[in-house]
Chains A and B, each alone.
Chain A
């Protein structure tokens, strides 16, 4: 009797867990399915190579927005990845437990949780207003600010996974600390660090709010990093909130491109992390 009751209870619990999991999956597949359904029909080659066309003309694309997003993500990566990795090295290899490193870690966590629109406002005030114009540089900078704390934390976790015995092995061979970090610890943690960086890139490539304040958006090609520049999420926002049906279609197509970029980055990150040498 007791046995049957136990089995019955086990089964019920398992049912509850399974159900919760299925419910959690609904939004994911719902969002994906909806974007694919609406975006796929509007997606064609022209979307990737043409500029947006004036209202009423068909065949416009978001080439400038795709390139704009790539440019700003590259700017953000150039700033955010080195600073993030170097800071993480400082925190793990040089200063693990002082009040300063604890403060840095805390600040990093706070920065990770800050709503991105606030980063946008700050860069708007500090950079855009000072320079007198919106720009790819300001946009890239705001993305870098969102990216850096993500990189710091993911890199730090990966460096902490490198066993202390590996560092000691290096010291015991009479190798200097600088070389141990550069030639032993970093290569050991490389896959994890790259994975973390790619996930951070995926995360910022969908950011919209800070770019509205900093890059603004642009219907044409930007000719320098000092002018307003288009970005996919901003373009999606502007098109989706317009009254025109054709623009709505384009917004869906843009969403599909953006979500595909994020998924591909995630997949590559996973492949990198899983790959083994030999």
Chain B
């Protein structure tokens, strides 16, 4: 099941550049929350804070609190946290040295799961959830790099799902894909929210409108507005949100 997230006064830095300036946000379980905003507004940094990837880069700093299902993520070991909070990146990044099968179960196998039966069961389940099983079931031993761009991205989603996280972060997962592959991914996200809490960063406002239950608008490192998607797009409270939605900047 998905878990709720509560973000309290989150600040983040890249060197001396403050990219998040005190974010407060409640994220509901089993919903799709879209993060929109112009380039450089801090939306990628925001999701990268939630699985503590931001702090892996040199010269970065984080302050504030993120509560996942009642527990601070900063009280957990980051490596353990990332098994609960999975992530899918903008560019599909399958492991080049591994087959499709090995890619899907990488998170399990490299963390010590040995049972072949369990691994195979997990591979099939994850690939089915990522709507990729039928396309690859006959060539699981092929290199992950042999797939098309959209298939590779779904492979990466399957790989993230195999670890059985409760939160799934997606950083512009469809921005490098063609419209058909994008439709696949969006369909998939709609199905996944039954079991996961999903945060998706997107440049594409139509995409946010299509798939998100709630939408948050970021600008210059601040959360301008967060509410039900229909409200954000039809009746925003803030002038800046309206300007962005209507294409006056960004």
State A173–B91 Cα separation when bound (angstroms).
16
Contacts of A184 in B (CB 8 A): 95, 97, 106, 110
Residues A174 and B80 in contact, CB atoms below 8 Å apart: yes
Question: Is B107 within 8 A of A175, CB to CB?
Answer: yes
Question: Contacts A166-B93, A169-B93, A183-B110 given: A176-B53 contact, CB under 8 Å?
Answer: no
B107-A188 in contact (CB<8A)? no
A175 to chain B: which residues have CB within 8 Å? 79, 106-107, 110-111
Closest Cβ of chain A to B165, distance in Å, is 9
The reply to whether the CB of A171 lies closer than 8 angstroms to some CB of chain B is yes
Interface centre among A163, A175, A187 (most CB of B within 10 A): A175
In the complex, chain A residues 166-221 whose Cβ is within 8 Å of any chain B Cβ: 166, 168-176, 179-180, 183-184, 187-188, 190
A residues near B56, Cβ cutoff 8 Å: 168, 171
Contacts of A187 in B (CB 8 A): 97-98
Mark each residue of chain B from 96 to 112: 1 if its CB lies under 8 Å from any CB of chain A, else 0: 11110000001100110
Chain B positions within 8 Å of A188 at CB level: 95-97
Please tell me if B12 contacts chain A, counting CB pairs below 8 Å.
no
In the complex, the chain B residue whose C-beta lies closest to that of A276 is: B143
Q: State whether the Cβ of A10 lies closer than 8 Å to any Cβ in chain B.
A: no
Residue A58 at the B interface, CB < 8 A? Answer: no
A contact residues, total (Cβ < 8 Å): 22
Do A172 and B86 touch (CB < 8 A)?
yes
Q: A163-B93, A165-B89, A169-B156 are in contact. Are A174 and B58 (CB under 8 A)?
A: no
**What sequence of 0s and 1s flags, for each residue 108-133 of chain A, a beta carbon within 8 Å of any chain B beta carbon?**
00000000000000000000000000
A149 and B89 alpha carbons, distance in the complex (Å):
36
Chain A residues whose CB sits within 8 angstroms of the CB of B142 once the complex forms: 278
Q: In this assembly, does B163 line the interface, its C-beta being within 8 Å of a C-beta of chain A?
A: yes
Cβ of B43 under 8 Å from chain A: no
Question: Within A142-180, which residues are at the interface with B (CB < 8 Å)?
Answer: 163, 165-166, 168-176, 179-180
User: Chain B, interface size: which category?
Assistant: 20 to 34
Min C-beta distance of B152 to chain A, whole Å? 11
Confirm or deny: B160 has a beta carbon within 8 angstroms of a beta carbon on chain A.
Answer: yes
Please report the C-alpha to C-alpha distance between residue A182 and residue B91 in the assembled complex, in whole angstroms: 23
Q: Once the chains bind, are A278 and B146 in contact (CB under 8 Å)?
A: yes
Residues of chain B within 8 A (CB-CB) of A183 are: 110
Residue of A174, A187, A188, A278 most packed against chain B (CB within 10 A): A174
Contact residues in B for A277 (Cβ distance below 8 Å): 97, 143
The reply to whether the CB of A97 lies closer than 8 angstroms to some CB of chain B is yes
**CB contacts between A and B, total, < 8 Å:** 77
- Whether A173 touches B146, Cβ cut-off 8 Å, given contacts A166-B93, A179-B110, A188-B97, is no
Quick one: which of B91, B141, B160 contacts A165, CB cutoff 8 A?
Answer: B91
Q: A165-B89, A278-B142 are in contact. Are A171 and B53 (CB under 8 A)?
A: yes
Would you call A174 and B95 a contact (CB within 8 A)? no
Whether A174 contacts B53 by the Cβ 8 Å rule is no
Decide if B143 touches A172 in the complex (CB within 8 Å).
no
Residues of the A chain whose Cβ atoms lie less than 8 Å from the Cβ of B111 = 173-175, 179
- Smallest beta-carbon distance A71→chain B, Å: 33
Nearest Cβ distance between residue B191 and chain A, in whole angstroms?
21
Contact residues in A for B110 (Cβ distance below 8 Å): 170, 173, 175, 179-180, 183-184
Please name the residue on chain A nearest to B81 by beta carbon.
A174
**Contacting residues of chain A (238-278) with chain B, CB-CB under 8 angstroms:** 277-278
In the complex, the answer to whether B87 meets A278 with C-beta atoms within 8 Å is no
Bound Cα distance from A188 to B143, whole angstroms: 12
Give B122 Cβ to nearest chain A Cβ, in Å.
13
Determine if B203 is an interface residue (Cβ-Cβ < 8 Å). Answer: no
User: Contact: A174 with B96, CB < 8 Å?
Assistant: no
B53–A168 CB distance below 8 A: yes
Which single residue of chain A is at the shortest CB-CB distance from B165? A174
Q: Which residues of B (149-192) have their CB < 8 Å from a CB of A?
A: 156, 159-160, 163
A168 touches B89 (CB 8 A): yes
**Judging by beta carbons under 8 Å apart, are B97 and A165 in contact?**
no
> Bound state CA distance, A165 and B110, in angstroms?
18
Q: How far is it, in angstroms, between the C-alpha of A179 and the C-alpha of B95 when the chains are bound?
A: 13
Least Cβ distance of A272 to chain B in Å?
Answer: 14
Q: What residues on B are CB-neighbors of A97 within 8 Å?
A: 58
Chain A residues within 8 Å of B51, by CB: 172
Pick 9 A–B contacts, CB within 8 A, sort by A. A169-B94, A171-B79, A172-B53, A173-B83, A173-B111, A174-B163, A184-B110, A187-B98, A188-B95
**Interface, chain B (partner A; CB < 8 A):** 51, 53, 56, 58, 79-83, 86-87, 89, 91, 93-99, 106-107, 110-111, 141-143, 146, 156, 159-160, 163
The 3 closest A-B pairs by CB, nearest first: A173-B107, A174-B83, A187-B97
**A-B contact sample (10 more), CB < 8 A, given A166-B93, A277-B143:** A97-B58, A163-B93, A169-B159, A171-B56, A171-B82, A172-B53, A172-B160, A173-B163, A184-B95, A278-B99
